[in-house]
Chains A and B, each alone.
Chain A
Amino acid sequence: MTTAMQRPPLVRSSDRMIAGVCSGLADHLGWPVKYIRLGMVLASFAGGAGLAFYAWLWVMVPTADESARRNSRRPASPIAPSVSMPSEVITPDGGAQPLPLSAPVPVLASWFRLRRIQYGKEILLGAGLLLVAAILIARQFGVDVPLGTLIPAAAILGGAAIAWMQLDETRRAGLVDKTKADQAGGWVRLAAGLALVVAGVLVMVSGSGSWEQTWLALLASIAVLGGVALVLLPWGLKFWKDLETERAARVRETERAEIAAHLHDSVLQTLALIQRRAGSEQDVVRLARAQERELRSWLYRDAAKDAGLLAERIAAAAAEVEDAHGHAVDVVSVGDAIMTDRHEALVLAAREAMHNAARHGGGAVSVYLESSETGSEVFVRDRGPGFDPDAVPEDRLGVKESIIGRMKRHGGTVVINSSSEGTEVRLKLPVENADKAETRNGEAKG
């Protein structure tokens, strides 16, 4: 059981020749994929056993995406959220009551219903395959089966299946939405499917299957298809273009709506607040600063950048101090580092230093963060009247405990430079014996 647990789940792989069955199986069993494929082909000659096995796996095994989707879909169904998440029931009088204990019964029922809908197609196909197997067995026992009709029909069905495989669950949404069947493999499969269907139809129609007739019919049908394509192509193109234009317009509209909504929630609200508080310069500056910061981070947000790294945390601490005191706190950071407990201490100490700078110093507070392979340093500078670090009373815990003590406990150092022109607190956190050397240079935040 344990070894089975360690295997990757059996899913159809996206790295596929036909349906990804062999690569999926190879991943699951941990065998080289080419042996699996070879074995499958060899088995196919043994009375079609390989083919049947392949088809069976194809039908029964979901692709990785489908599997993930199914697993996530089960607990909370979008169709019946109130049934699949029965923690609360809305009573007619508007209140929410906990569900009585008999709840699991309808839940189970709905779960089975969902399952049946999900696998309905597969069960149908499975039945078809069983039929094929029955025919094969019947032939073995000498029962006469009209193969002349069945094989073309099977070819048509198979061709259609291959062509429609484009649209299996994962792709259907994408195809309808983006019509991105432009991958080469997709076209190849589509063409193979079409060829199979056409061949099947021809053989079926011409009945006997003599080559002469087949060729003639083939030529005729190609001519007809070509003519139809010639007539319909301009229409199709025009339709396609209209669709594209409409889609682009819709995307633009959505974007505009999103921007409008954001501006409404942020900028317009702030402007209204500023008008109401026009009397208080302090409030106006604070509101304008906070709004500027918010808008900036929205406009220039970098999707690739991980939140929760050191630079981001320092910037967040600066924003907090700015809001609390109404003083501008400018952060410049170079490099970045992954957060650890020690970096957490650095952020807290830096925040305390920023609080002090904003409280006692005048004007803007400058914060500079530099992270490199050797460690992280934070400089907090204000333009206040300065103070004597040695003359700070013992009971004032701000500097002694929150900054110096905290940094020392985590192996860091603190240097405080204070003169009449301002104070600079310098926090240094060296890297711990090369184990936390995961700095990220070139990731600096502007």
Chain B
Amino acid sequence: MNALSEQVARKVRVVIVDDHAIFRSGLKADLDSRIDVVGEAGTVEQAIAVIAQVRPEVVLLDVHLPGGLGGGGREVIGASSPLRGSTSFLALSVSDAAEDVVAVIRAGARGYVTKTISGPEISDAVIRVADGDAVFSPRLAGFVLDAFGTSPAGIADDELDRLSARELEVMRLIARGYSYKEVAKELFISIKTVETHVSAVLRKLQLSSRHELTKWAAERRLL
């Protein structure tokens, strides 16, 4: 909680990218006082221009966007790669189809939440991403477990290709609907440690070329 309250002094600058104006204004109203919305965009081109111009800390990015080459959110992340160090992306979607979610995560988003998420929850998620951590919804944790398998890493395995026993535990609890705080309490570790594990899983999800993962992705027409 301390980390969160420190943020109050310094508002997180956010750009909202979504093609529905109604949703953008609703989301803006939902975000709490820790967050400052500095820009909005409705298409891929607008988003790339606005992000380059205002250089926000976090971009709330809809997975499905009109315009550009048809790549939607993935295309925005790709085009904004020069800002990768200073700007993080949080994917936002009504779709919970695996192909959409994992594609945008592998493109470089720091997390994924569904549009039905509540105001306080999404505010927390934005702060978390701004702090450099990853945000996993239960469904994303489910995808990860599905793609990497549910047995822990052996010694011979490539480090990127399997989840450690601890990471598996964290992913399982998140899939069961536990918040980071509850995960920390359940496993007798600090929230920071939970965040470290989640970030490690995110990195593996983004970088792994694990055979099963690529096969899994190919089956869902991801790569």
Q: Would you list 8 pairs from A and B whose C-beta atoms are within 8 A, ordered by A residue?
A: A335-B150, A366-B176, A368-B138, A370-B172, A442-B146, A446-B96, A446-B98, A446-B139
Question: Is A332 among interface residues, defined by CB-CB distance under 8 A?
Answer: yes
Is the Cβ of A334 less than 8 Å from the Cβ of B146?
yes
- Option from B97, B101, B175, B177 in Cβ contact (under 8 Å) with A334: B175
How many residues in B have their beta carbons less than 8 Å from beta carbons of A? Answer: 25
The residue in chain B whose Cβ has the minimal distance to the Cβ of A365 is B177
Give the interface of B toward A (CB within 8 A).
Answer: 95-98, 101, 116, 138-139, 141-143, 145-147, 149-151, 172, 175-178, 182, 212, 216
CA gap between A335 and B96 in the complex, in Å: 17
Nearest first, the 3 closest Cβ-Cβ pairs linking A and B are A366-B177, A332-B142, A444-B146
Residues of A within 8 A of B151 (CB): 372
Residues in A422-445 with C-beta less than 8 Å from chain B: 424, 441-442, 444
Q: A366-B176, A381-B176 are in contact. Are A446 and B142 (CB under 8 A)?
A: yes
CA gap between A300 and B100 in the complex, in Å = 11
Count, A-B residue pairs, CB within 8 A: 62
Q: Give bound CA distance, A372 to B101, whole Å.
A: 24
Q: Does any Cβ of B come within 8 Å of A244's Cβ?
A: no
**Complex Cα gap A444–B101 (Å):** 15
Rounded to whole Å, the gap between the CB of B191 and the closest CB of chain A is: 16
Report, as a range, how many residues of chain A touch the other chain.
20 to 34
Please state if B176 and A446 are interface contacts (CB–CB under 8 Å): no
Contact A379 B216 (CB under 8 A): no
Chain A residues with Cβ under 8 A from B216's Cβ? 442
A96: shortest Cβ distance to chain B, in Å?
Answer: 47
Is A330 in contact with B138, judged by CB distance below 8 angstroms? yes
Q: Is the CB of B96 within 8 A of A334?
A: no
Of chain A, the residue at the smallest CB distance from B181 is A421
Contacts of B176 in A (CB 8 A): 332, 366, 368, 379, 381, 424
Nearest B residue (CB) for A421? B182
Min Cβ gap B25→A in Å is 19
Question: Do residues B146 and A330 form an inter-chain contact, with CB atoms below 8 A?
Answer: no
Among B116, B138, B146, point to the contact of A335 (Cβ < 8 A).
Answer: B146
Partner of B96, one of A296, A379, A444: A296
Contact B96 A370 (CB under 8 A): no
Annotate A134-171 by CB proximity to B: 1 below 8 A, 0 otherwise.
Answer: 00000000000000000000000000000000000000
Contact yes or no, B141 A332, CB < 8 A: yes
